[in-house]
Structure 1
Amino acid sequence: MTTEIKAPVFPESVADGTIATWHKQPGESVSRDEVICDIETDKVVLEVVAPADGTIAQIIKNEGDTVLSNEVIAQFEEGAVSGAAQTQAVQSEEKVEQAAAKTEAGAAPVVERAQPVADQAPAVRKALTETGINAADVQGTGRGGRITKEDVANHQAKPAAAPLTAAVGERIEKRVPMTRLRKRVAERLLAATQETAMLTTFNEVNMKPIMEMRKQYKDAFEKRHGARLGFMSFFVKAATEALKRYPAVNASIDGDDIVYHGYYDIGVAVSSDRGLVVPVLRDTDRMNYAEVESGIGAYAAKAREGKLAIEDMTGGTFTITNGGTFGSLLSTPILNTPQTAILGMHKIQERPMAVNGQVEILPMMYLALSYDHRLIDGKEAVGFLVTIKELLEEPAKLILDL
């Protein structure tokens, strides 16, 4: 029985997608719910799974092709295993047996080489050509030793065994196309700088009170809630309280209208292999510290695995980004439009500070608030940032709602 495999139904915010990788080729057997294809949109990578046990009969949309919502991308033969697939499976078993026999005899195990460039998928051939990598040098992880785009990228990322040499006067370049997600991020960042009156105000916060509280209670917190007590939960809760006091910072501009949001959905910027993503914590005013930490941890894990869904990143009324995890001491974050403000956290660094006429060495962090001056005045922006500073330096006020 032949059935159609279709692209997922994309949300309204996603117009189309691009076939990123075919994990299965025509004639290859697959199991029900096994991932056969990845479709990359400008927000996330969606997985297409096999509807039943069977084989891929025909690929209609190749890697690199643009697909629309619910468009047919392949034909699938249910319950059938082609002769080619059976032969391939037998050959694989024979190679394993040969390798085992030679290993037992003291010989080196047989290593299956990747298939020639001509036998690879179009997108893989393109990646090999653009990077100048020899297919024979890449260890294929796909079916039958096939090379995937990820194999090419991983091989390229490996440090060279010996320094690269070139002829005198030769300068090497490589050209790699942007991923769809990277292009979308670039478009949004450029639009934010061109279409908003963006301004940044700075302050600094003494992190000693939070660090001492965290040191004292982190073990008990993790034992009780099953989540590690980090700094982000304090910043999320402090930002939520500050947003209540300054509603304009939680608003957005829609044409000639100002939309004041009566809820607090805070996005937390996460860096992934595919680019910057901003999953959203919903209703942070109703979340406790453990729920915030667990939510951030779950999103971080999904981002590393490429499992974030579009729904995870839809909406958001305010964003927090932490450049301090990479060592940034100070920066000016760019707005995540249509939001009108974003808070930037930075590296904690010990600095000499004047306290009651005495010099003390304190763990300090610079804070940056970028905001859209079309909606938020300087007085509100500074007041918002000062509120966050005060709540973090006296966390008892934050916990006791003072």
Structure 2
Amino acid sequence: MAVKVVMPKLGMAMKEGEVSVWNKQVGDAVEKGESIASINSEKIEMEIEAPENGTLLDIIVKEGEGVPPGTAICYIGEEGEALQESENEKPEKEEQSPPQKTENKITRGIKQAAKSRVKISPVARKIAEKAGIPIETLEGTGPGGRIVKEDVLTALSAASEQKPDEDAHEEKEQKQTMTPMRKVIAERMHASLQNSAQLTITMKADVTDLLSLQKQLASAAKERFGTKLTITHFVSRAAVLALQQHPHLNSAYQDERIITYSHVHLGMAVSLDRGLVVPVIRHAEKLSLIELAKQVSESAEKARQGNMASDNLQGSTFSITNLGAYGIEHFTPILNPPETGILGIGASYDTPVYKEEELVRSTILPLSLTFDHRICDGAPAAAFLKTVKEYLEEPAGLIL
């Protein structure tokens, strides 16, 4: 009897999932545990694996189509097996003749094996296949050499520049349907700006001593806890400690009331190929520096792999975002509703600084704090940022 494969529920808040790309087509043989499709919800993308050995008998949900959790997306069974009417959610397909396999099975198997060896994101694969670009010719710039969306777009741009001159003046447009994740990001960011009074202030911290401490702790942290301590971890710890001293930044504006939290659920923004997610470190105020560092790193890795449940992407009381890796110093982070504050970390740089009468080389870390002026005035927000700066400049307090 055919096995029904359904859209999984990726967390309690998930309302709809979308099939990003089918890795198999009707009539293809599949093995148990083999990836047959990629799906994405509002904040997560993951692979769907075949529950049994068999043949892909029917595809119910097309690429780009969204359906509620529990909806059948395909059926797997024995080759030539007929689906019962109760199994087939598209009765009009019953009168159609079985798909004709015109391609040599060996040739198709070779092609599929070649594709499976190439590390490529589902979105990048879909764009490449639609554009007719062999993925084997692409060079990946993602983690571990993975081919991401930007690599395919770069290849498309390079190909268009090599076309004959008669096409040079031809205007072209590329239209893409927004993914559920992109829609949510767009809606939340627009609502954030529309429904709050956002103001950004900046400050610079001298992290020369902090970098020295980081080097001293690096080998021990890696050996004992398997964690590489980064500037982001230290800033996160400083922010958590500062929030306990300035709880007005650890609050939310809801129904004309200000809710101040005693706990710190720290949101850490993570950039993905397809958008942005914010994993939440719950009760960060109870964690030591190394415990916080481990959870931040593990959450970021799960988010990048698409293994983060949607329930772990909600409920933050304060967020941190880092654009330092891109060379950005100061910027304007957008609040993650309904939070009152979000701290941005910029790119550190070396500069000469006077310490008393002596000119010394110091490392400066730019910080950008966006806060909701309806809840917090400029002076209290500046006091919070000043406390973060003090912790970073006197880093012993971060490990005590």
TM superposition score category, shorter chain reference: 0.7 to 0.9
Residue pair 2:202, 2:330 contacting (<8 A) in 1 also: no
| Partner of residue 172, structure 2 | 173
| Partner of residue 208, structure 2 | 208
Which moved further from structure 2: 60-69 or 162-171?
162-171
| Partner of residue 40, structure 1 | 40
How far does residue 303 in structure 1 lie from its aligned partner after superposition?
3.4
| Partner of residue 300, structure 1 | 300
CA distance in 2, matches of 1:258, 1:157: 47
Return 5+ residue gaps in structure 1 as ranges.
97-109, 115-122, 142-149
2:91 aligned with 1:91, yes or no?
A: no
| Partner of residue 193, structure 1 | 193
CA distance in 1, matches of 2:29, 2:336: 44
2:223 aligned with 1:223, yes or no?
A: yes
1:19-70 CA-partner distances (Å, limit 9, x unpaired): 1111222222223333322222221114333232222221111111121121
2:266 aligned with 1:266, yes or no?
A: yes
What SS does the aligned partner of 1:361 have? strand
How far does residue 373 in structure 1 lie from its aligned partner after superposition?
0.8
Mapping of 1:97-136 within 5 angstroms?
Answer: 127=127, 133-134=131-132
Mapping of 1:58-77 within 5 angstroms?
Answer: 58-77=58-77
Assess, with a 3 A threshold, how the Cα gap between structure 1 residues 247 and 95 changes in structure 2: closer, same or farther. closer
How far does residue 172 in structure 1 lie from its aligned partner after superposition?
4.7
TM-score (norm 2): 0.80
What SS does the aligned partner of 2:334 have? coil
Mapping of 1:310-389 within 5 angstroms?
Answer: 310-389=310-389
* Aligned structure 1 segments of 4 or more residues deviating by more than 6 angstroms: 87-90, 93-96, 110-114, 123-126, 150-153
Alpha carbon RMSD of aligned pairs, Å?
Answer: 3.5
How far does residue 318 in structure 1 lie from its aligned partner after superposition?
0.8
| Partner of residue 240, structure 2 | 240
CA distance in 1, matches of 2:369, 2:284: 19
Q: What is the letter of the counterpart of residue 381 of structure 2?
A: A
What SS does the aligned partner of 2:165 have? coil
TM-score (norm 1): 0.80
Q: What is the letter of the counterpart of residue 394 of structure 2?
A: E
What SS does the aligned partner of 1:212 have? helix
CA distance in 1, matches of 2:298, 2:10: 23
Residue pair 2:124, 2:152 contacting (<8 A) in 1 also: no
CA distance in 1, matches of 2:313, 2:217: 31
Assess, with a 3 A threshold, how the Cα gap between structure 1 residues 113 and 193 changes in structure 2: closer, same or farther. same
Which moved further from structure 2: 337-346 or 214-223?
214-223
Assess, with a 3 A threshold, how the Cα gap between structure 1 residues 33 and 111 changes in structure 2: closer, same or farther. closer
How far does residue 369 in structure 1 lie from its aligned partner after superposition?
0.7
Equivalent pairs counted in the alignment come to 366
Assess, with a 3 A threshold, how the Cα gap between structure 1 residues 308 and 257 changes in structure 2: closer, same or farther. same
What SS does the aligned partner of 1:375 have? coil
What SS does the aligned partner of 1:354 have? strand
Residue pair 1:320, 1:344 contacting (<8 A) in 2 also: yes
Once the two structures are aligned, what percentage of the paired residues are identical? 31
How far does residue 10 in structure 1 lie from its aligned partner after superposition?
5.1
